[in-house]
Amino acid sequence: MSLKRIAYSSGEPAGIGPDIALYLVQEVAKQQWPCELVILGNKQLLQDRAHQLGLVVSCEDYDVNRPPQRWPQGTLLVAEHELATPVQSGQLNPANSPYVLSILRRAGEGCMSGEFDAVMTGPVHKGVINAAGIPFSGHTEFFAELSNTKQVVMMLATEGLRVALVTTHLPLSKVPAAITQPLIESVTEIVARELDQRFQCRQPKLLLCGLNPHAGEQGHLGREEIEHIEPALTALQGRGIDVSGPWPADTVFQPHYLESADAVIAMYHDQGLPVLKYRGFGNAVNITLGLPFVRTSVDHGTALDKAGTGKIAIGSACYALETALTMVTE
């Protein structure tokens, strides 16, 4: 199998993104995964963080003209990005927000040009980016805009469960108005297509949640199911997509339903993700479906209090990298 070139965007520099890079390259070498991992970040930051963690590493300059290769344990291949100001572990600084976004832009553009086979993203801090005066709602939306993709879908996965979202980073008060028949149809079609093409799930079986308690109780607890979700289901089924619902969210996440399903589609962020993270936190992956390239991510945040301490687990990072490799080699 030819080596895949995977970009890792190291995320918020004061968080654990750089730590993940340092530990992950050890795993890539140890497990002999079929990839070259390119760290998008700052060499001095990585070396400083390695010193904090008691790790001995060397940094090699990434050269786009050199074919992908395996690197020995302890060697980081770094695509250099300049920081605006030195980093102190655990201390956010809005001045470095442009650095974070430059890494993401480099990763996305590299994937679209074919330079990288996929991007795996480290955690970013949305608050500090916005505090710098830069509107930013998340990786999903950033890569959609960068690639001029009209509709993308956020899906998290862990062993035995995939959850995709109709709406993502919206205040709860704005969710009902956002739930429309066209959006539900678009999201479901993307999930069905990507599961087929990227994960080899032929004719995937999908479970669609309702929005309201008890899926609206026939209109007594809300009419979104009647006016938007059920018409979308009828249209989707008419196009040959195996989707059922609307299922009450408090009952659909049971083995009886999940054992024969390939994914659950939830209406909003905190309807589906708490269940998935309870089941697999630290061993789950965030995947953006619908992009013209493969993007996976860890399932956790920047963990500022753990940066530079060595007290982190990289199970999610390993799972995210493995998933990216699966998606680009299937």
Higher pLDDT, 214 or 330: 214
- Quickly state the pLDDT bin for 2 (edges 50, 70, 90): confident
Residues near 253 by Cβ (< 8 Å), separated by ≥ 6?
A: 161, 264, 275
Mapped onto helix, strand or coil, the DSSP state of residue 45 is helix
Query: DSSP character for 62?
Result: -
Q: What is the mean pLDDT of the chain?
A: 96
- Quickly state the pLDDT bin for 5 (edges 50, 70, 90): very high
15 neighbors 125 (Cβ within 8 angstroms): yes
CA distances from 63 to 36, 69, 77, 78, 278 (A): 12, 11, 9, 9, 41
| pLDDT value, residue 169 | 86
Mapped onto helix, strand or coil, the DSSP state of residue 322 is helix
How confident is the model over 83-114, as pLDDT tens digits?
999 999 999 999 999 999 999 999 999 999 99
How confident is the model over 44-62, as pLDDT tens digits?
999 999 999 999 999 999 9
- Quickly state the pLDDT bin for 229 (edges 50, 70, 90): very high
Kindly tell me if the per-residue pLDDT of 274 is higher than 70: yes
Q: Where are the domains of the chain?
A: 1-149+291-330, 151-287
How confident is the model over 146-190, as pLDDT tens digits?
999 999 999 999 999 999 999 998 999 999 999 999 999 999 999
Kindly tell me if the per-residue pLDDT of 1 is higher than 80: no
> Class assignment of domain 151-287?
alpha beta
How far, in Å, CA of 166 to CA of 250, rounded?
17
Q: Which of 112, 111, 92 is nearest to 100 (CA)?
A: 92
Kindly tell me if the per-residue pLDDT of 201 is higher than 70: yes
How far, in Å, CA of 117 to CA of 162, rounded?
23
| pLDDT value, residue 267 | 98
| pLDDT value, residue 330 | 59
- Taking the domain 1-149+291-330, which CATH number applies? 3.40.718.10
Identity of the residue numbered 141: E
**pTM strictly above 0.85:** yes
Q: Are domains 1-149+291-330 and 151-287 of this chain identical in fold?
A: yes
DSSP string, 10-33: ---TTTTHHHHHHHHHHHHHHHT-
Q: Which of 100, 116, 120, 165 is nearest to 5 (CA)?
A: 116
Kindly tell me if the per-residue pLDDT of 29 is higher than 90: yes
